A and B are shown apart, each in its own frame.
Chain A
Amino acid sequence: MSDLNKLTIVQAYEGLKKKEFSSVELTKACLKQIKKRNQDLNAFISVFEEEALEEAKEADKKIKAGKQEMLTGIPFCVKDAICTKDRLSTAAAKILDNYIPSFDATVIAKIREQGAVLIGKNNCDAFGHGASNENSMYGPVKNPHDLTCVAGGSSGGTAAAVADHMCIFGIGEDTGGSIRQPASLCGIVGLRPSYGRNSRYGSMPMASSMDTVGPLTKTVEDAAIVEEIIAGHDVLDATTVNEKVAKFSKSLSKLSKKLRIGVPKEYFELEGTEEETKNIIESKIAELKKNKNIEIVEISLPMTKYAIPVYYIVVPSEDSSNLGRIDGIRYGVRKEAGNLYDTYAKTRAQGFPEEVKRRIMIGTYALSAGYYDAYYRKAQKVRTLIIQDFDKVFAEVDLIVTPTSPFSAFKIGEKKDDVLAMYLADVFVCPANVAGLPAISVPAGKTKAGLPVGLHIIGPRLGEEKVFQLAQLVIPTAPGAGRDPF
């Protein structure tokens, strides 16, 4: 069988079960694609060829013994800002250029317990700071659909790797759109779960009150499968909720009642939204409207325009505090200097890229004496109003639909020096983070230039099941084999 790397999780599971191919063959197919394409895409910081083939052999033994689980023998990749045991985890910053964690993040441990094959670690914006992957100290990731364009960020390498069939699925991290926006720009599915649904343990902290870990996949069904495996309470993350995790993949086509879907008018009036993106999303919504089980209503989220300014106070503040521990003292790359202060300052100056330093400074300023009330506390109050906005709307509708990104993939370098323009790339995705809501991006179409456009579905807190059900309606068919399924 050729092109095994193009399979979905479901297809790979079936093939392994029927012994049509082995995990070693599947892993080799992915490694072959990485060898062929990574020099162009720069989607991986590390590729674990030898170790992956060892893991694949173990998985084949497990399958042979009749102990196959859903992810056994399936190659996956992980954003480099998530810790993986005995595997380099740099967060795409030189300060962690030599950091090898002694543990797996809880989410990764759950996947590896099933015998999935960790094929490599993905390039990303350093410590998750960015929307274009240009903030990596290992170079930008290129979009598989157009090598002159960005892959999105911060989980851009993971999105590019999955879209380009370098692995079967990937795990990313989303604080303000970092899973959904690159998924949209690369034409795949990306889920940000409700805050507290998946353990954050071992995901390098950025903004602790908004960070989430989630899957990037080729189909909605695959995303549902991964999510039901990685979700759940974790004693190592006190913010995880002890709620039962539904079998999302089993209820994808089981809409129990008519769905009322809200379309926020503010999101479509926003200046700077690309015309083609708007048209694709609007025609997708018109298509959904024809379904007799779906009712589309216009809604209003007036506080939504404040989500970005709230985000850019809360996130840098929590960032500056979290990144205080990244100082080259106990691990990482230390730059020795005459005294302790200079050692800290030089280590951090050389080990962090520009955007990380920018956020650390915004946060340090916002939290410093005299400014805390004016910035951080004020932002946290507006955050309450944004949540109330969503609560009001979710009393009326089941789900909210918006574009994922105001524009399709832009040229590398185009927005790099315009800090605010880059921050606004997350305008549709970051309100879900501010409010802790689950949201998914699914491919909705392509621009004339052939660049993917994603549709964004936001659900109420812990409402992943309905989010998946609507997502499945948007792209109902599993993609067949092909370099570009969408």
Chain B
Amino acid sequence: MYLMKLSVKEIEKIATLARLELSEPEKQMYADQLSVVLDYIEMLNDVDTSGVIETCQVTGLEDVVREDKAQEASEEIKNKLIASFPEKMGKLLKVKAVFDDQT
């Protein structure tokens, strides 16, 4: 892999995927900073990892299971959760339409 300098266009793509609105100066700043970080990370390519198995967790635990049983929350907790909705209609959470052609 070669040293990669991220462009503002690439930053825009990443920000879209990450659901972050960025100002123009922010795009430039992150393009510069992410390039520095990615450049630093490149040093991992010095390490020969052929035949090495990746570590996804360190506990050695396998197949941790429990009974698939729903636990009912108390009315008190339900009401608290509803109270913390940013916008609601009665007991329902109100959100923007997912599809553009509907309101």
A: residues with CB less than 8 A from B are: 98-100, 102-103, 195-196, 209, 235, 238-239, 241, 303, 305-306, 309-310, 312-313, 320, 324, 327-334, 336, 339-346, 348-349, 352, 357-358, 360-362, 364-365, 368, 374-375, 377-385, 387, 419-420, 423, 435-436, 461
Contact = CB atoms under 8 A, between A and B. Distances in A.
A365 B6 CA distance: 10
B21 A381 contact: no
Contact of B85 (A303, A330, A365, A420): A330
Contact of A340 (B11, B41, B56, B98): B98
A212 B49 CA distance: 28
B37 A419 contact: yes
Top-8 shortest CB links A-B: A436-B58, A380-B54, A334-B86, A381-B49, A345-B21, A349-B21, A340-B96, A344-B19
A461 B55 CA distance: 15
12 contacts: A102-B81, A303-B47, A331-B81, A333-B86, A358-B34, A361-B15, A362-B34, A374-B1, A380-B54, A382-B49, A420-B40, A436-B59
A341 B19 contact: yes
B29 to A, nearest CB: 8
B37 A357 contact: no
Dominant secondary structure at the B interface: loop
A419 B29 CA distance: 11
A447 to B, nearest CB: 28
Nearest to B81: A102
A340 B97 CA distance: 6
B43 A332 contact: no
Contacts, number: 158
B77 to A, nearest CB: 5
Interface in B31-80: 33-34, 36-38, 40-41, 43-45, 47, 49, 52-59, 61, 64, 66, 77, 80
Contact of B41 (A330, A339, A357, A375): A375
Interface of B: 1, 6, 11, 14-15, 17-22, 26, 30, 33-34, 36-38, 40-41, 43-45, 47, 49, 52-59, 61, 64, 66, 77, 80-81, 84-87, 93, 95-98, 100
B10 to A, nearest CB: 8
B84 A99 contact: yes
A343 B87 CA distance: 13
